[in-house]
């Protein structure tokens, strides 16, 4: 077996949120063929309980705490240096020294970074690893620019600056590495336009999903207190695009739906809900659960999965999970990019309030929409297993 330095901005276990789902499955894939030396951060104290699980997969582990408050303080130095706020936020001297030791003593065949900010730990190493690969996941710089459009001063200036400086850094990374990967072809196309010098190095390797785990054929206890028609949104509720999505839906769409279906319920399920999300719980029929141990019962017993994302990059795991659970799903185009689902066959697509309401009511009232879930489930089983999706990494490392 060859050695691999694997760096991730967050501990890749448990796979309970978008980035950790992808990083864990990539790590598990690489661990079958490499001796993995893992370096990462923990920003949630509950995740320290899972360190031993990762040690069973890796030959060496260096995990550092990441205090978000102090990370933001460190980020302020970027205003003096002109660099992206992400770089000092994710810099740790202990981790840097550990990486230098692995690079000097082990001389890994591959250095892999999950998210570009972790490439700062090896991109200038001498001698350089034989192969350097960065999974950008999505074009984060463009996401910051989207944020800027919806904020007022001074946040719009900060976010616009971060979009510019992060793109400049990502372009430098692209020049240093051998291969860069993104979760979807639209992300590749966008980055090629923004960084044409890296066009030949950039590849799309999309997410998969465990169709055996997310299965509608299992028995799940009903988490809902009654049999009212139930709409579901899932995701990390401190992630601003998710916050924007549920606020938009609860304030602009749900009142219209409630006029048509008085006993309808909207459940927002996911950890760390912000103050803006928690306020939605005051709306009659809206319920904010916070973190739950298992999303599957909420999918299984919901009537419709709604994914009204207005700001998004890459693949939305919440859409794949709803499809795997054979759940009728209404989504925006932002949530569908990178997923090979066909509107009106596998799910319904709507981008404006009136259309989204109409499609949601259609899923509740039209028996024919039940076929959407069955078709979506078939697509997941046929084409979205993790091994099928991640084999592209094997070709890059060959």
Q: pLDDT tens digits, residue range 148-170?
A: 888 889 989 999 999 999 999 99
What percentage of the chain has pLDDT greater than the value 70?
100
Q: How far apart are CA 72 and CA 301, in angstroms?
A: 40
Question: According to the model, what pLDDT value does residue 328 have?
Answer: 97
Q: Could you tell me which of 52, 59, 1, 4 has the C-alpha nearest to residue 26? A: 4
In this model, does residue 147 exceed pLDDT 90? no
Give the start-to-end residue ranges of the domains of the chain: 2-205, 230-383
- Please give the mean pLDDT across all residues of the chain: 95
Establish whether the linkage from the previous residue to 247 is cis, with ω within 30° of 0. no
Q: Which helix (H) or strand (E) holds 132?
A: strand 131-137
Question: According to the model, what pLDDT value does residue 105 have?
Answer: 95
As a whole number, mean pLDDT of residues 50-78 equals: 94
Q: Residue 34: helix, strand or coil by DSSP?
A: strand
Q: Could you tell me which of 72, 194, 191, 75 has the C-alpha nearest to residue 136? A: 191
Q: Which residues contact 382 (CB under 8 A, 6 or more apart)?
A: none
Question: According to the model, what pLDDT value does residue 343 have?
Answer: 97
Q: How far apart are CA 50 and CA 152, in angstroms?
A: 40
As a whole number, mean pLDDT of residues 328-346 equals: 93
Question: According to the model, what pLDDT value does residue 281 have?
Answer: 97
Domains 2-205 and 230-383 are alike in CATH topology: yes
As a whole number, mean pLDDT of residues 185-214 equals: 94
As a whole number, mean pLDDT of residues 47-65 equals: 95
What percentage of the chain has pLDDT greater than the value 90?
86
- Written out in words, the top-level CATH class of the domain with range 230-383 is alpha beta
Pseudo-torsion of CA 344, 349, 353, 358, nearest 10°? 10
Q: Could you tell me which of 147, 205, 139 has the C-alpha nearest to residue 173? A: 139
In sequence order, which ranges of the chain are alpha helices (DSSP H)?
A: 18-31, 51-55, 68-75, 78-81, 86-89, 93-101, 140-149, 155-176, 185-194, 240-248, 254-260, 275-279, 296-301, 317-324, 333-336, 353-365, 370-383, 386-397
Question: According to the model, what pLDDT value does residue 334 have?
Answer: 86
Burial 124-139 (b: 16+ CB within 10 A, else e): ebeeebebbbbbbbbb
Q: 1.10.540.10, 3.30.420.40, 3.90.870.10, 3.40.50.11720: which CATH number matches 2-205?
A: 3.40.50.11720
As a whole number, mean pLDDT of residues 231-253 equals: 96
Question: What is the Cα 363 distance to its own chain's centre?
Answer: 26
């Amino acid at each position: 077996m060859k050695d691999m330095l694997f760096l991730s901005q967050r501990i890749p276990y448990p796979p309970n949120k978008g980035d950790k789902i992808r990083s864990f499955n990539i790590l598990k894939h690489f661990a079958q063929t490499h001796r993995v030396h893992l370096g990462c951060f923990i920003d949630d104290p509950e995740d320290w309980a899972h360190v031993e699980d990762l040690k069973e997969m890796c030959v060496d582990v260096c995990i550092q705490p990441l205090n978000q408050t102090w990370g933001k303080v460190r980020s302020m130095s970027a205003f003096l240096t002109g660099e992206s706020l992400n770089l000092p936020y994710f810099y740790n001297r202990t981790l840097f020294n550990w990486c230098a030791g692995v690079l000097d003593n082990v001389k890994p065949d591959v250095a892999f970074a999950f998210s570009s900010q972790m490439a700062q730990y090896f991109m200038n190493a001498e001698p350089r690893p034989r192969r350097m690969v960065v999974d950008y996941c999505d074009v984060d710089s463009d996401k910051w620019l989207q944020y800027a459009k919806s904020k007022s001063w001074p946040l719009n200036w900060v976010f616009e600056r971060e979009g510019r400086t992060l793109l400049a850094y990502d372009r430098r990374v692209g020049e240093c590495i051998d291969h860069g990967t993104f979760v979807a072809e639209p992300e590749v196309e966008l980055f090629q336009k923004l960084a044409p010098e890296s066009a030949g190095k950039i590849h799309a390797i999309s997410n998969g999903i465990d169709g055996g785990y997310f299965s509608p054929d299992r028995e799940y206890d009903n988490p809902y207190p009654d049999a009212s028609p139930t709409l579901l949104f899932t995701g990390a509720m401190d992630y601003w695009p998710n916050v924007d999505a549920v606020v938009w839906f609860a304030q602009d769409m749900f009142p219209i739906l409630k006029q048509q279906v008085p006993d309808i319920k909207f459940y927002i399920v996911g950890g760390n809900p912000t103050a803006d999300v928690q306020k939605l719980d005051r709306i009659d029929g809206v319920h904010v659960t916070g973190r739950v141990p298992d999303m599957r019962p909420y999918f299984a017993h919901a009537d419709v999965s709604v994914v009204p994302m207005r700001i998004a990059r890459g693949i939305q795991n919440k859409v794949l999970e709803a499809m795997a659970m054979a759940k009728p799903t209404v989504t925006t185009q932002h949530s569908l990019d990178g997923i090979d689902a066909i509107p009106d066959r596998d799910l319904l697509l709507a981008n404006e309030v009136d259309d989204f309401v109409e499609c949601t009511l259609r899923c509740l009232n039209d028996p024919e929409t039940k076929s959407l879930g069955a078709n979506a489930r078939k697509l997941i089983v046929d084409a979205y297993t993790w091994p099928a999706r991640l084999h592209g990494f094997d070709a890059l490392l060959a």
